[in-house]
Amino acid sequence: MNENIINTGILAGSFLVLFALAEIMYHYMHIKVELTRKTVHFGTGILTLLFPVMLHNHWLVLFLCSSFALILIVSLKFNLLKSINAIDRKSAGSICYPVSVYLCYLVYEHYGYAYYFFYLPILTLAICDPIAALCGKTWPLGKYKVGNDHKTLMGSSMFFLSSFILSVFLVLYSGGFSFGISLILLCFIFAALTTFVEAISKNGYDNISIPIMSLIILIIEKSI
């Protein structure tokens, strides 16, 4: 238990350093908020991958996720953490992120299979979502609008491609499948449905809709 508490402190400090670096990038290096926000998004996902390794108690995960959700709520209320919050649109994405992490950890703790139920949903969110956003802004082909959010078919296509490749590698690594039609079909369905929920989600709610859809697909696959 003492080791878990020490690791919780290490992880909390690491997240605070990440936020501080993003603030330095935004305020002193004058990097645009979309890039600093995606940097935090990606960095948070990578640090989160340490949870199954360093933490073995979901209450400590809940403590971490709740603490950072509270920090983000306070930052929104008092106009702080501009490297995350200084965007010209309404977004609940930063609040949804810690909720998704805790949900994925709970499912992983129940079922086991960290590469399946924790790493795949979290990495889909941490990697595929920023890839879609950056590619969509760089090559804005096939623009469409969901609520107040502007999206592109290019971004959605890149989300699908990166999600498919990521799921193939992680499902293979988990040992649940050998390479073949069943694996390709599962990963195609996974990529298609996570791309769909990312495309229709607005105001940052893809930060929770993507992991939930990921978990639903994987839980169904494990139950049949």
User: SS in 3 state form for 187-204?
Assistant: HHHHHHHHHHHHHHCCCC
For position 146, what pLDDT does the model report? 80
Distance CA 83, CA 93 (A): 14
For position 103, what pLDDT does the model report? 96
Q: What is the pTM of this model?
A: 0.90
For position 60, what pLDDT does the model report? 95
For position 115, what pLDDT does the model report? 87
For position 195, what pLDDT does the model report? 97
For position 27, what pLDDT does the model report? 94
For position 212, what pLDDT does the model report? 96
Distance CA 198, CA 205 (A): 9
Q: Name the amino acid, one letter, at 177.
A: F
Mean pLDDT by 10 residues, the chain (224 residues): 89 95 95 89 90 94 94 88 83 86 95 90 92 90 81 94 95 79 93 95 90 95 85
Which DSSP helix (H) or strand (E) runs through 152? strand 149-152
Burial of 33 (0-12, 13-18, 19+ CB in 10 A): middle
